[in-house]
Structure 1
Amino acid sequence: MKKLLLLDVDCGVDDAVAIMIALASPSVEVLGITCCYGNSLLENTSRNTLRVLHVCNKLKIPVYSGASAAILGGPLLDEFYYGKDGLGDVPDPQAPGLDLLQKEHAVLAILRIANERPGQVSLVATGPLTNLALAVKMDPSLPKKLKNVFIMGGNIESRGNTTVCGEFNFESDPEAAYIVLNEYTCPVYIASWEFICSCPLSWEFYHEWINQNTEKAKFMKKIYAHSIAKCEHESHFITCDSYAMAAAIDENFVTEVTPVGVTVELRGSLTRGMMVVDWSDKLKKENKVFIMRKCDLMKLETLLMAALK
């Protein structure tokens, strides 16, 4: 039996890598991809998803456009780490048009797919959690119908990569992250910012990976050029969303997890959007999440290499 995955992305370069990992895995069937704003405007993240599927010859996988802003509204976080379009600002005259998007809204698609295959679908979220939050508000029974959820986002040591204490995906929509962490009662696995930073890849691996002589690798090299120029001084290479995807695909990838109650700070002047980890169980939460602590990097490297073959 193949693992059934539903992907929710804000398709920037890191999401593109994660999507390609899933598409290349023989043990996985991707039922659909839902899109939200985040790494760029919704129009761009939706188009980027279609571009990735086009490169992988997988345009039959349905793509759904969803939330264009946070639950409380407001502008996008002005990061554009992966370029203004989210995919390195590389011109692509062959890019598929938005007419290939499904007419159904992403939130409705999440609910329908979960209802069609109760207890079978793993939801992998690699962007702001707005679509997931709206879905559970429309149908509070949704978490009972999902097999599990894998999230790239949040932080466990208050180390921010966007604000002082905020990780990008959670900081983009703190209310959505709060809703998801408090209302999704199915097993939830979190690849936090600090976990990923503690399990980096080498630049030697990056160059071996990106210089494979394939069309997928050439595509990846082009879209990564913008952001790699910013981080070449770093001692290691990380591709954040791949960790959550690897965990969803291979149950042996994560070698240590900590079950713990979590929530999200909504009001702090310096801590808004920070994931609060209740290490001492003062909140007495019944639905604990599983925070990833250690992983098998060789398995990740194998998945990444296969993604660009």
Structure 2
Amino acid sequence: MKKLILDVDTGVDDAQAIMMALAASNVEILAITCTHGNTPLQNSLKNTLRVLKVCNRLDIKVYAGFEEPLLGHKISAGEFHGKDGLGDAPDAEAPGLELVQKTNAVEAIISITKQNPGQVTLVSTGPLTNLALSVKMDPCLPARLKDIYIMGGNIESRGNTTVCGEFNFLADPEAAYIVLERYTCPTTIASWEFSCRNSLPWSFCDTWLAQNTPKAHFMETIYAHTRKMVQTDRYQKEMVSGFGFNTCDAYAVAAAINDDVVLESEKVAVTVELEGKYTRGMMVLDYIDALDKEHKVNILKRMDLEVFKQLLMNALK
């Protein structure tokens, strides 16, 4: 069994990623920790509980992390995911926040990894605030992790929020910098450009949502707003290639839970730009060893889309 901690800012794509992990028979989710990002922290917590409820997995513990970046201004993706993060689709029977654990996310990450040394895969699909503060509180944390998977950053300076900034890294650049400096365990990154180049046809999305299950009905409802947004000309101009269904966060989860899904990757040292007027939050790839960093991360390049499609289909069964 792969033991996962999911660190999320639950919007629609996080919901898709969480449901993919929940459906995998070889995965045990030890905890879900929430942060700011797509939507304010309180919404992220509510949304995570909504996803767990529809999947009949409210037994999984949910922890509140931090509600703002280490420095700078808080941003959100309300226009993209809906103000509540899940398409502004009301749910009168949504679980209450009394189900959230009293322990905070940082304490939970530290404690769970101490209980499972060398066994935990940490998957981040939101801003990296919780992870940065965890390693500041416990510098030995990375040595206890099996590995870490991150959805975020960019590899060709293509931004989706600013000219050169990808949302998750731009939402807390200092946290992204700390994580890429301090987490020296095996690290895999699913970048913005990677997700674009491995997007799926909209015809698949139609088939995916047409499954006659409560999970599929839930996804169709919460995804309606985002789908309308991503099919606009403006959004398609942001995508690196093609006109397709791009479930960003699910790529990192797929790589974490299925060893057969990644077909091509490369190892390279990286850092994050913190000061540039146009490039703050941009991930920098060092192909000439100018940074003199021993630790190199695994940058995803190409995915087996048939395996990925099956993981998505399973998520809504």
Report the TM-score range of the alignment, normalised by the length of the smaller protein.
Answer: over 0.9
Structure 1 SS opposite 2:63: strand
The separation in 2 between residues aligned to 1:277 and 1:145, in whole angstroms, is: 26
- For the pair 1:299 / 2:315, whether they are aligned, the reply is no
- For the pair 1:263 / 2:262, whether they are aligned, the reply is no
Structure 2 SS opposite 1:81: helix
Asked if the contact 1:40–1:80 (Cα under 8 Å) also holds between the matched residues in 2, the reply is no
Which residue in the other structure is 1:169 paired with? 168
Structure 1 SS opposite 2:216: helix
- For the pair 1:121 / 2:152, whether they are aligned, the reply is no
Report percent identity of matched pairs.
60
Q: Return the match for 2:244 from 236, 246, 249.
A: 236
Unaligned stretches of 5+ residues in structure 2: 237-242
Asked if the contact 1:190–1:289 (Cα under 8 Å) also holds between the matched residues in 2, the reply is yes
Map Cα deviations across residues 238-271 of structure 1 (whole Å, 9 max, x no partner): 1000000000001111111111000000000000
**CA-CA distance at 1:72 after TM superposition:** 1.5
**CA-CA distance at 1:282 after TM superposition:** 1.4
Asked if the contact 1:39–1:80 (Cα under 8 Å) also holds between the matched residues in 2, the reply is no
After the TM superposition, which residues 190-209 of structure 1 pair with which residues of structure 2 at under 5 Å, given as runs?
190-209=189-208
Map Cα deviations across residues 27-54 of structure 1 (whole Å, 9 max, x no partner): 1000010000101010000010000000
Which residue in the other structure is 1:250 paired with? 258
- For the pair 1:59 / 2:58, whether they are aligned, the reply is yes
Q: Letter of the aligned partner of 2:185 in structure 1?
A: C
Q: Letter of the aligned partner of 1:257 in structure 2?
A: S
- For the pair 1:28 / 2:8, whether they are aligned, the reply is no
RMSD of aligned C-alpha atoms?
A: 0.9
Asked if the contact 2:39–2:76 (Cα under 8 Å) also holds between the matched residues in 1, the reply is no
Asked if the contact 1:38–1:76 (Cα under 8 Å) also holds between the matched residues in 2, the reply is yes
Q: How many residues align?
A: 308
The separation in 2 between residues aligned to 1:57 and 1:17, in whole angstroms, is: 15
- For the pair 1:69 / 2:50, whether they are aligned, the reply is no
Q: Letter of the aligned partner of 1:17 in structure 2?
A: Q
Asked if the contact 1:122–1:149 (Cα under 8 Å) also holds between the matched residues in 2, the reply is yes
Asked if the contact 2:37–2:77 (Cα under 8 Å) also holds between the matched residues in 1, the reply is no
Unaligned stretches of 5+ residues in structure 1: none
Map Cα deviations across residues 65-90 of structure 1 (whole Å, 9 max, x no partner): 00100011533246541000000000
Structure 2 SS opposite 1:147: strand
Q: Letter of the aligned partner of 1:138 in structure 2?
A: M
Structure 2 SS opposite 1:96: coil
- For the pair 1:39 / 2:38, whether they are aligned, the reply is yes
